Amino acid sequence: MTATTQEPRTSPEIGGLGHSRRRVEDARFIEGQGHYVDDIELPGMLHMAIHRSPVAHAKILSIDTSEAEAVEGVLAVVTGELLANYNLAWMPTLSGDTQAVLATDKVRFQGQEIAAVIATDRYVAQDAAELIRVEYEELEPIVNPQRSLEADAPLIRDDKEGQESNLCYEWESGDKEAVDAAFAGAAKVVSLETFYPRSHPAPLETCGVVADVNSATGQANIYMTSQAPHAHRTVFALVAGLPEQNIRIISPDIGGGFGNKVPVYPGYVVATAASLVIGKPVKWVETRTENLISTGFARDYYMKGDLAVDGEGKILALKVDMISDQGAFFADAQPSKFRAGLFHIVTGSYDYPAAYVTTRGAYTNKAPGGVAYRCSFRVTEASYMIERLVQNAAYEIGMDPAEFRAKNFIQPEQFPYMSPTGFVYDSGDYEKAMRLAMDMVGYDEIQKEKEQARAEGHLVGIGMASFTEVVGAGHGEEYDILGLKMFDSAELRVHPTGKAILKLGVRSQGQGHETTFAQIVAEELGIPASDVKVVEGDTDNTPYGLGTYASRSTPVAGAATAIIARKLRDKAKKIAAHLLEASEDDLEWEPGKFTIAGDPDSSVSIQDVAFAAYTNPPPGLEAGLEGVNYYDPPNMTYPFGTYIVVVDVDPESGQWKVRRMVAVDDCGVRINPMVVEGQIHGGLAEGYAMSSMQYITFDEAGNCIGSNFMDYLIPTAWETPRFELGETVTPSPHHPIGAKGIGESATVGSPAAYVNAVVDALQHLGVTNIDMPVSSDRVWAAMEGAKAG
Amino acid sequence: MNITVTVNGTEHTADIEPRRLLVDFIRSTLKLTGTHIGCDTTSCGVCTVLIDGTPVKSCTMFAVQANGRAITTVEGLKQNGALSPIQEAFKEHHGLQCGFCTPAMMLVGTALIAENPDPSEDEVRWGISGNLCRCTGYVNIVKSIQAAAAATREAANS
Amino acid sequence: MYPAKFDYLAPESVEETLSILAERGDEVKILAGGQSLIPMMKLRFARPSTLVDINRLPDLDAIEVANGHVRVQALARHADVVRSDVIKSENALMASAAPWVSDPIVRNLGTLCGSVAHHDPEGDWASVMLALDAEVVAVSKEGRTHFHPGADGERATGGSRVVPIQQFLVDMFTTSLHPSEMVTEIRVPRYDRGGGSYQKLERKVGDYATVGVAAHLELDDQDRITKAGLALTSVYSSNLKVTDAEQVLVGEAPGAEIFAEAAQIARNACDPASDVRGSAEYKRHVVEVFTQRALAEAAGIAQGGRS
């Protein structure tokens, strides 16, 4: 258990925990020397373009590639039929389903991969891809899960033996009986039906691969946009039948991941197969339209929640029913035991004994996905549900929403807290964070202003969200993806001159691991962070890990790093004792130095020890100073916080503007405060985007509306609000350095805060809900609707 | 078609087809990969370069149009081996995370400062409203550009 | 992402350009800013066989006052219009509209004339020009061997014609420009005492308008409206000039009541589609609200003593 203070223990020169160390990775990016997949050029490299289906649901009657093959510069046109000869037309998904690599029998979503052209130049590849002629017999497209689950809906997955309906999964958690009893005795039941619309991570770098399979040696070097290179390597070995030792996945610099780069996409597989057959490197980098229409989307969740409350405003129980739209294939990257991810944390930050959560997933004629976009495996959906429900409950009971929360928060002394759906929250002080946020925003003053404003016909709203995150997947007993347990790893080696190299099983896409993980080593070993090189992403050169997503790097690989550094420190102590000719028990440690207790002149630095590890190791002790740790986390970690948003709504146009956004986060010990704040800024902006404008929808014909950046709206610096950040620090008791992870907190917690603020501005008019995106037309429609009804 | 383009002070001649986008010419022909591609509807701005000092989305221009013009890409920001004020500022103020939008942001920031040496936060946000970022929420990008403006003013005054 | 193949010509003079257009006008496309055309070509919605790049034509980028008009020549960029002191002092509506067009980077290349000639039905400039009763100057070869841009006199004789904007804009993506013609400038009449305002509801910078309202008012010394221009963006099959509302305003004193009446007419005249940006009902409502706002702002500027 580490100190709660955020004062660094090490000097700025050493740069351990708590220092806002400037980033190591910046040096190359600011000179345009980033090394992204599309920057890679190999001798003889070919280019691939994919021909995609314009229709959402259809039988494929014929595919004619002859015109495409005749285009000068085209080397090959690959179809599903061709791949089927290598047993590659279908591949497993990370959820244990199967997914078409290239469609053979049917097309199941608009934008699905039909065929691929390999050519000398990407312009030529696109020319040829256009000339592929496909005959379709269209079928009824299913664009929502409600239709999908109707008895007479056409079967989408008729390729799956035994699949008789479009039901993809069914899963539940909690105690129905206890909940029914609680509801029976409740003074009030508050209900909310809400839809969390489809969104897309849309990192600025799209997905891509350069597959280089050497026909002479059998070595397959696959450069790909991958957040989980080792898991991908294993999947490639299983899918492509290539021996795993010959597969090297190299995930170079990644221009944003946000969960979009966790799944294995058909393009990767086809490019690899093409390289294998043709014997040359093949590059495939998707366009933005391809990215939005076919890769892992996020959310698309219909939720109905009921909250039972007693006469004093105490929550008694929660019931939630959910249907998720899974698209044409069940391809979520999430722990296999939890078919709805960690949605069952929908109980939130509140203390009550009973909850019952029922979930179903449906196949539809849309791209596969759902778990992505900084969601911590569906915690975005869960957090949104409970924080909207709690806000509405406060209105119905006639309590201030902050006081309602305070009355129901899990109290600090209750941790570790077992939730009604089986989560063991590690630590928290929810009211402290909330009060700090209220202080920062001037909550009481704004509530007064609101009353005044209403009298004058202005609309001001203040909305809050007090979220609890669950990250750091995860303990081996419960967490695996495709059977791979969700440990993570750190391999640390100290060189004779006292410098070090740290190799990790995770993979940053902008989170700054090269900077922050070195700080963990600096903290534990006193080696200056600038002397520690951090390596990720090359499966030949790093220990096995499950990658970076769901905010798991710090909780898991960060723990592994601290532990292996401590192990090395233990060995260093032995070497130090040998050098000082003293007993280990007589030695004291301060960052970077061992000293004989009571004899300050008798000391050796960690650098002296490192040198000695190679030149003068104690007899009986192995030379070197290195080791690897595979960390199986004992539990998840639970970052939390309170966000408060103040909005002004134009009653005539329905447009709204964020006046204030105050965010208090508690992610335990912060390795690098500057980096942590950057992560929060990004998440708050994404939350704003989702609450105000980001939206992918489908028309009745199955056409995707939102398949390019003209229709799928990402806010610019002009719309994005300013943010005010605050912090509390409640360390995780089970994490070696007390850190909890921060990457997704703001994306998880903020949408409800924004929406609660707008609803709050209109609440006196009778508005109780507006589904996201809360666009100006929806605000106006809600006001009109409340007037009428 | 033969074209001659000056990029970061160096003249290049090439024979390219008219439909080759300027961004492709920069990346594939000149091998300067600091300029990026992020979308297909001229919406994201990661392809922004300076043509005669003016920011332009290089994905929405053909290389042949740049015949005879002078282009600055991110690789041209460093002068005489020293990082420019904007590069220093982005590093100091954590103005980047994944780095993909960063070259464009720095070039647009540079042009902005040249036209407006003391931009307010609003003016910076307006000035970069043609460039998207997914990682930073723009906060530190704005900070970095304002810091670069201050450093530039100081250098001019000293 | 990548356009189909095309041939490329980069003439160095207007004469050269007009010769090309005279011969092959129906198969070539003019490339000015390219910020509307090139995106369409990249998505392969447009596949011209030949592009004629006019960016090298000299002396064609002025924004200036000439003969009672304010004129914007073919190669003046949106950004030039935003920055122009001439526009700021001469035409409040144009000054108000310019910053709303697309985004700051696109504005560096895109041209006002190109935008109007392209006639995207959701484009902003066409509404502005309709409200201002602009004129489009189109030139063609037609027997002339010399062309003198920048001359003081009216270019009245053969080879050039002046087309009122309402005639010029025919339908979405369609103008009355003959294939042998090229737009060299768009001009609006100067006014003594007037004001204008462009109100645009957009979801983010760079988005098309959900609703756009262009309003222009001219007042006499008695504060009576002598001229009114009102045009709408994105709420009809293409940009809509609401002449009925304009007629109601002329002769009246500016005021909330008359503006409300004009706004009602505008609301009833438009025919918006229900789509992701909002229901038809919502858009009609915004037309009404924004028309009132635009007229009030225009009147305020006019009465503020600008001349």
B6 and B71 fall within a common domain: yes
Asked if B67 and B89 sit in the same domain, the reply is no
Confidence of residue A411 (pLDDT cuts 50, 70, 90): very high
- The chain B residue lying nearest A708, using CA atoms, is B41
**Chain A contact probe: residue of B8, B30, B134, B140 with most A CBs at under 10 A:** B134
Co-location of C214 and C145 in the same domain:
no
Average pLDDT value for residue range B100-122: 98
In this prediction, residues C34-63 reach a mean pLDDT of 97
Provide the pLDDT for residue A641: 98
Ramachandran region, residue A373 (left: φ > 0; alpha: ψ -120 to 50; beta: rest)? left
**pLDDT of A389 above 70:** yes
The mean pLDDT value for C182-192 works out to 97
Strands (DSSP E) found in C202-262: 211-219, 225-233, 240-241
Answer whether residue A490 shows pLDDT above 50. yes
Query: Which other chains touch chain A, taking contact as 3+ CB pairs less than 8 Å apart?
Result: B, C
Domain of residue B111, CATH code:
1.10.150.120
Of B24, B49, B76, which closes a domain?
B76
Handedness of CA A164, A168, A173, A176 (dihedral sign): negative
CATH number of the domain at C37, please: 3.30.43.10
Mean pLDDT of A10-26: 97
pLDDT band for position C142 (cuts 50, 70, 90): confident
pLDDT of residue A776: 98
CA distances from C164 to A392, C129, C136, C153, C186 (A): 57, 10, 6, 19, 10
Q: For A280-322, write each residue's pLDDT tens digit.
A: 999 999 999 999 999 999 999 999 999 999 999 999 999 999 9
Please give the average per-residue pLDDT across C224-247, as a whole number: 97
User: What's CA C203's distance to the chain center, in Å?
Assistant: 21
Kindly indicate the confidence band of residue A788, based on its pLDDT and cuts at 50, 70 and 90.
confident
Q: What is the per-residue pLDDT across A188-243, written as a single tens digit (0 to 9) for each?
A: 999 999 999 999 999 999 999 999 999 899 999 999 999 999 999 999 998 888 89
- Do strands C169-171 and C160-164 pair parallel, antiparallel, or not at all (unpaired)? unpaired
Shortest CA distance from B1: residue in chain C: C8
Q: Whole-angstrom Cα distance, residue A332 to residue A97?
A: 9
The pLDDT assigned to C305 comes to 54
Of A38, A202, A510, the CB nearest to B97: A510
Phi-psi domain of B9 (left: phi exceeds 0; alpha: psi -120 through 50; beta: other): left
Contacts of B65 in chain C (CB under 8 A): 10, 31, 34, 53, 55
Instruction: Choose one of C189, C211, C232: the last residue of a domain.
Output: C189
Per-residue HEC secondary structure of A337-389 comes to CCCCCCHHHHHCCECCCEEEEEEEEEECCCCCEECCCCCCCCHHHHHHHHHHH
DSSP A536-568: -SBTTTS-----S-TT-IIIIIIHHHHHHHHHH
Q: Give the mean pLDDT of chain A.
A: 96
Say if residue B131 is in the same domain as residue B104: yes
Output the CA–CA distances (angstroms, integers) from residue A91 to A94, A156, A227, in the order listed: 10, 17, 19
| Nearest chain C CA: its distance from B158 CA (Å) | 30
Tokens of A577: 């004792």
For chain C, the domain total comes to 3
Domain-terminating residue out of B76, B94, B114: B76
What's the confidence (pLDDT) of residue A241?
Answer: 83
User: Beta partners for A370?
Assistant: A298
Which helix (H) or strand (E) segment holds residue A235: the answer is: helix A229-240
At residue A692 the predicted structure's pLDDT band, cuts being 50, 70 and 90, is: very high
Residues C46 and C111 in one domain: no
Answer yes or no: do B60 and B97 share one domain. Answer: no
Helix (H, G, I), strand (E, B) or coil at C234: coil
Q: Residue A238 has what pLDDT?
A: 87
Can you give the residue range of the structural domain that contains C251? 194-303
Domain end call among B57, B76, B95: B76
Angle (CA) A600-A602-A608 rounded to 5° is 120
Same domain, B65 and B122: no
Q: How high does pLDDT run on average in chain C?
A: 93
- Residues 6 or more apart whose CB falls under 8 angstroms from that of A704 comprise A110, A111, A292, A293, A366, A367, A696, A698
A25 inside 8 A of chain B by CB: yes
For residue A3, the model assigns a pLDDT of 34
Q: Are residues B114 and B149 in the same domain?
A: yes
C58 lies in a domain? no
CATH number assigned to the domain comprising residue C288: 3.30.390.50
Same domain (yes/no): B98, B72: no
Q: According to the model, what pLDDT value does residue C156 have?
A: 38
Cα(A540)–Cα(A545) distance, integer angstroms: 12
Task: Write down the pLDDT at residue A284.
Answer: 98
Let me know whether C219 and C289 are in one domain.
yes
Nearest to B33 by CA among A47, A35, A122: A35
Whether residue A32 and residue B46 make contact (CB cut-off 8 A), yes or no, is: no
pLDDT for C40: 96
Q: Nearest Cα to A502, choosing from A524, A484, A480?
A: A524
Q: Are residues C215 and C140 in the same domain?
A: no
Of C292 and A215, the structure prediction assigns the larger pLDDT to: C292
pLDDT of residue A240: 81
Interface of chain A toward chain C, CB-CB under 8 angstroms: 122-123, 126-127, 130, 287, 289, 652-655, 693, 695, 697, 705, 710-711, 713-716, 718-719, 775-777, 780-781
User: pLDDT over 70 for what percent of chain B?
Assistant: 100
Beta bridge partners of A485: A480
How far is A703 from A130, CA to CA, in rounded Å? 19
Which amino acid is located at C132 in the chain? L
H helices present in C43-111, as ranges: 78-83, 85-90, 92-97, 106-109
Domain range spanning residue B93?
85-157
Question: Which run of H or E residues covers position A184?
Answer: helix A176-184
Could you give the number of structural domains in chain B? Answer: 2
Burial zone of C264 (CB within 10 Å; 0-12 exposed, 13-18 middle, 19+ buried): middle
CATH code of the domain covering residue B24 = 3.10.20.30
Is the Cβ of C31 closer than 8 Å to some Cβ of chain B? yes
- Tell which residue, A147, A106, A567, has the closest CA to residue A364: A147
Over residues A588-601, mean pLDDT: 96
CA dist A212 and A221 (Å) reads 5
Inside any domain, residue C2 = no
Let me know whether C201 and C181 are in one domain.
no
Q: In B, residues 127-156, which contact A (CB 8 Å cutoff)?
A: 128-142
For C12-42, the pLDDT digits (tens) are 999 999 999 999 999 999 999 999 999 999 9
Structural domain includes residue C250: yes
Buried b (16+ CB within 10 A) or exposed e, C223-262: eebbbbbbbbbbbbebbbbbbebbebbeebebeeebbebb
Instruction: Report helix angle A776-788 to A745-762, nearest 10.
Output: 40
Whether the predicted pLDDT of C149 surpasses 70: no
* pLDDT, tens only, B125-144: 999 999 999 999 999 999 99
Read off the pLDDT of residues A359-371 as tens digits, 9 standing for 90 and up: 999 999 999 999 9
pLDDT of residue C143: 44
Nearest CA in chain C to A126: C2
Q: Closest partner residue to C5 among B19, B60, B64, by Cβ?
A: B19
**H-helix or E-strand containing A436?**
helix A430-441
- Touching subunits for chain B (3+ Cβ pairs under 8 A): A, C
CB-based contact C207 A713, cutoff 8 Å: yes
